[in-house]
C-alpha cells in the first residue's frame, strides 16, 4: 500500500500526527501494535488520574477530620479497586472506540501490527500472530513508538510480587504493603492510590530527593508531606536486589538490610521502544540508551521524524503531541522554523501536587545570563488553599535578568496553576504587566500572582 505519511505508534504523538496529517490532506497510514492511546491512555496518565480521582475523597476526609470539620469512621468509607478497574476498562473501551471512529472519519488507514523499516520508503507491518504482513510505501514517516518501563537485571518485574507500573495498575485487590522503587512521578502517584486503598507504603529513591529533576524544594517539601501521611521514605538509598519469594516481594538494600512487602513496584525510569524496528537501516541513529536522535526539526533521518518518548526530549504526553503537530505542519509546508518546545510543563497529581512551567532555579542558573532571582509565596496565606484545609505548599517564581523564566509549585491543587504559569512564562510577563489582568478572588491563582509580585531574593 502507498501513502504519503506512515506513523508508527498510536499514542498521544502518533495519533495526533495522523489526525492532523489527514486533516491537512495527506494520505496517512497509522500503525499500532496494541491499543490506541499508547502508554498515556492505557497504562499511564489516564488510569492513574482515574484512580486518584476515584480515591480522592479518602484523602480529603482525612485532612478535614484532622481539623475536626468532618467526623467519620475511616472503615465506613471503602474505595473499591474492582469498581475502579471496571470503570477504567469501560472508559478505555469507550475511548478506543471513539478514537478509531475519529481516525476512520478523518480518512486515516489504521493497521494493527508491528511496523518495521525494511528499506528507505518501506515499512512492513506484521500482525500479532506473525501471519500477515502488509508492506507500506511512504514518502515520509513519523516514529512515535513511545517507551516502556525500564528495569535492571537485579530489580526486574516478574509479574508476581514484583510489578511494573502497568502490572500494578491491573491488580484487582490492593496489597496491604507496597514497596516502591523510584521516587519519580509514577512512584509517587501510584503510591498515593494504594495508600488510599489501605496499603502501607515504603518508597526508595536512590538520588538525594524525590522528583530529582525538579526544584529541590519540591522534592523536600513533598517528602515532608508524605511522611506526615505515614509513608516510609528511604531517600538516597540503593536497592541491591528485588525478587518474588514465596509470593511476596523481598528486597535487599545495598546496606544488606532486607525488607518484605506484599507487592513491589519498579518505577526507575523509561526505556524507548526503538529496538528491532530497522531504524538504523533507514539512517536513524540511536543514543546509548536507545533514544532516537533528532535534529532541530525533529528529523531522525531523511524523510523520517521521531516524536514523543522515543526521541527522549521529554517523556510527557503533551510534549509528544506538541512535537507531532510541529512535524506535520512542517511536512505540510506550514512551518519553516526549527522546533521550539522549550521547557515542557510538568505536573504530579494527588493530594499533594506539584507543577512546573519553564525552568527550575538550577536550569536558570545553567542558562547563562547575568542575574538569577527567585520570589515566592506560601500557600498558607492563600484563602482558597485555607478553605481546602490544605495550606502547606508554595509557589516559587524564577527570574533571569528580570524576565520570568519559570514557576514551580507544591501543594494541594497546584496542578491547576500549570497552564496559567506556562502562558505567563512563555509571554515573559513582568510583575507590572500582571496588573493588566484581574485575578478573581478567592482563587489559588492569586498565590501565583503574589509569588510574582513578592520581593525577589538574589541568587546570582
Positions marked catalytic: 441
For residue 337, state whether it binds its own copies (rule: CB under 8 A): no
- Residue 50 CA to residue 276 CA, distance in Å, equals 34
458 burial type by CB count under 10 A (0-12 exposed, 13-18 middle, 19+ buried): exposed
> Please, which of residues 353-372 interact with its own copies by CB under 8 A?
355
Where does this chain touch its own copies (CB under 8 A) — which range of 84-92, 111-119, 121-129, 242-250?
Answer: 84-92
User: Does 205 show up as a binding residue in the annotation?
Assistant: yes
What secondary structure does DSSP assign to 397-430, as a single string? EEEETTEEEEEEEEETTGGGGHHHHHHHHHTT--
3-class state of residue 87 by DSSP: helix
Give the residue carrying C-alpha cell 496565606.
381
Least distance CB 315 / its own copies (angstroms): 12
Q: Is 341 in the site for its own copies (CB under 8 A)?
A: yes
What minimum distance in Å lies between the beta carbon of 235 and its own copies? 26
Using CB under 8 A as the binding rule, whether residue 96 contacts its own copies is answered as no
| Selected binder of its own copies within 76, 153, 333, 370 (CB under 8 A) | 76
Q: Which of 243, 293, 325, 371 binds its own copies (CB under 8 A)?
A: 325
Spatial distance between the Cα atoms of 447 and 370, rounded to a whole number of angstroms: 27
The reply to whether 180 sits in an annotated binding site is: no
Give the H or E element holding residue 394: strand 393-400
Closer by beta carbon to its own copies, 83 or else 275 = 83
> In terms of CB distance, is 41 or 261 closer to its own copies?
41
How far apart (Å, rounded) are the C-alpha atoms in residues 286 and 271?
Answer: 12
Sign of the torsion formed by the C-alpha atoms of 419, 425, 426 and 430: positive
49 is in an annotated binding site: yes
Query: Is residue 185 part of the contact set for its own copies (CB under 8 A)?
Result: no
- State the minimum distance, in angstroms, from the CB of residue 242 to its own copies: 30
Task: Say whether residue 3 binds its own copies (CB under 8 A).
Answer: no
443 binds its own copies (CB under 8 A): yes
Tell me whether residue 149 or residue 323 sits nearer to its own copies (CB atom): 323
- Cα(186)–Cα(214) distance, integer angstroms: 14
| 172: contact with its own copies by CB under 8 A | no
Answer whether 317's CB lies under 8 Å from 44's CB.
yes
Gap between the Cα atoms of 296 and 300, Å rounded: 10
Which residues within the stretch 29-68 sit at the binding site for its own copies (CB under 8 A)? 40, 45-46, 49-50, 52-58, 60-61, 64, 67-68
User: What cell numbers appear for 18 in the block?
Assistant: 495522523
> What does the per-residue mask of binding to its own copies show for 370-409, with x meaning CB under 8 A?
-------------xx-xxxx--------------------
Q: How far is the CB of 219 from its own copies (least distance, A)?
A: 19
Q: How far is the CB of 317 from its own copies (least distance, A)?
A: 5
Tell me: is residue 364 an annotated ligand-binding position. Answer: no
Is 246 near its own copies (CB under 8 A)?
A: no
Check whether 183 is labelled as a binding-site residue: yes
Among the listed ranges 69-77, 133-141, 266-274, 300-308, the one in contact with its own copies (CB under 8 A) is 69-77
Backbone angles phi, psi at 213, to 5 degrees: -90, -5
Least gap, CB of 38 to its own copies (angstroms)? 12
* Cell reading at 426: 512563555
What is the CA angle 106-340-374, rounded to 5? 130
The bridge status of strand 239-245 relative to strand 232-235 is unpaired
| 80, 85, 88, 89 alpha-carbon torsion, rounded to 10° | -140
In the annotated binding site for FAD, the residues are 49, 115, 309
In the annotated binding site, the residues are 49, 115, 182-189, 205, 269, 309
In the annotated binding site for NAD(+), the residues are 182-189, 205, 269
Amino acid at each position: 500500500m502507498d501513502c504519503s505519511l506512515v506513523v508508527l505508534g498510536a499514542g498521544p504523538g502518533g495519533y495526533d500526527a495522523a489526525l492532523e496529517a489527514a486533516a491537512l490532506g495527506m494520505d496517512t497510514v497509522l500503525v499500532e501494535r496494541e491499543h490506541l492511546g499508547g502508554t498515556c491512555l492505557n497504562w499511564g496518565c489516564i488510569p492513574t488520574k482515574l484512580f486518584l480521582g476515584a480515591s480522592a475523597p479518602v484523602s480529603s476526609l482525612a485532612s478535614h477530620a484532622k481539623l475536626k470539620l468532618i467526623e467519620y469512621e475511616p472503615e465506613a468509607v471503602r474505595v473499591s479497586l474492582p469498581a475502579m478497574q471496571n470503570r477504567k476498562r469501560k472508559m478505555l473501551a469507550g475511548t478506543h472506540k471513539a478514537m478509531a471512529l475519529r481516525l476512520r472519519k478523518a480518512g486515516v488507514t489504521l493497521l494493527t501490527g508491528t511496523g518495521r523499516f525494511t528499506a528507505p520508503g518501506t515499512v512492513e507491518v506484521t500482525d500479532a500472530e506473525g501471519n500477515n504482513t502488509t508492506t507500506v510505501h511512504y514518502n515520509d514517516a513519523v516514529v512515535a513508538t513511545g517507551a516502556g518501563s525500564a528495569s535492571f537485571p537485579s530489580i526486574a518485574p516478574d509479574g508476581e510480587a514484583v510489578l511494573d507500573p502497568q502490572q500494578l495498575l491491573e491488580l484487582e485487590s490492593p496489597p496491604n504493603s507496597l514497596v516502591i522503587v523510584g521516587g519519580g512521578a509514577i512512584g509517587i502517584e501510584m503510591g498515593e492510590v494504594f495508600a488510599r486503598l489501605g496499603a502501607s507504603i515504603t518508597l526508595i529513591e536512590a538520588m538525594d530527593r524525590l522528583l530529582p529533576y525538579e526544584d529541590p524544594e519540591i522534592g523536600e517539601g513533598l517528602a515532608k508531606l508524605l511522611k506526615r501521611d505515614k509513608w516510609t521514605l528511604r531517600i538516597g538509598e540503593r536497592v541491591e536486589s528485588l525478587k518474588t519469594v514465596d509470593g511476596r516481594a523481598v528486597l535487599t538494600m545495598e546496606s544488606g538490610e532486607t525488607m518484605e512487602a506484599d507487592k513491589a513496584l519498579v518505577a526507575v525510569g523509561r526505556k524507548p521502544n526503538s529496538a528491532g524496528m530497522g531504524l538504523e537501516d533507514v539512517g536513524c541513529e540511536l543514543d546509548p540508551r536507545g533514544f532516537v536522535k533528532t535534529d532541530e526539526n525533529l528529523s531522525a533521518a531523511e524523510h523520517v521524524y521521531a516524536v514523543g518518548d522515543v526521541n527522549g526530549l521529554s517523556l510527557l504526553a503533551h510534549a509528544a503531541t506538541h512535537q507531532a503537530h510541529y512535524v506535520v505542519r512542517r511536512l505540510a509546508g506550514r512551518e519553516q522554523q526549527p522546533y521550539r518546545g522549550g521547557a515542557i510543563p510538568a505536573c504530579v497529581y494527588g493530594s499533594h501536587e506539584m507543577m512546573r512551567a519553564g525552568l527550575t532555579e538550577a536550569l536558570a542558573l545553567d542558562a547563562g545570563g547575568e542575574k538569577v532571582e527567585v520570589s515566592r509565596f506560601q500557600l498558607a496565606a492563600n484563602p482558597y488553599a485555607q478553605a481546602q484545609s490544605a495550606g502547606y505548599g508554595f509557589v516559587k517564581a524564577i527570574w533571569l535578568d528580570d524576565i520570568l523564566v519559570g514557576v514551580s509549585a507544591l501543594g494541594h491543587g497546584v496542578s491547576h496553576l500549570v497552564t496559567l504559569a506556562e502562558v505567563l512564562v512563555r509571554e515573559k510577563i513582568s510583575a507590572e504587566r500582571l496588573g493588566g489582568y484581574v485575578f478573581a478572588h478567592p482563587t489559588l491563582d492569586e498565590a501565583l500572582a503574589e509569588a510574582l509580585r513578592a520581593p525577589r531574593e538574589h541568587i546570582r
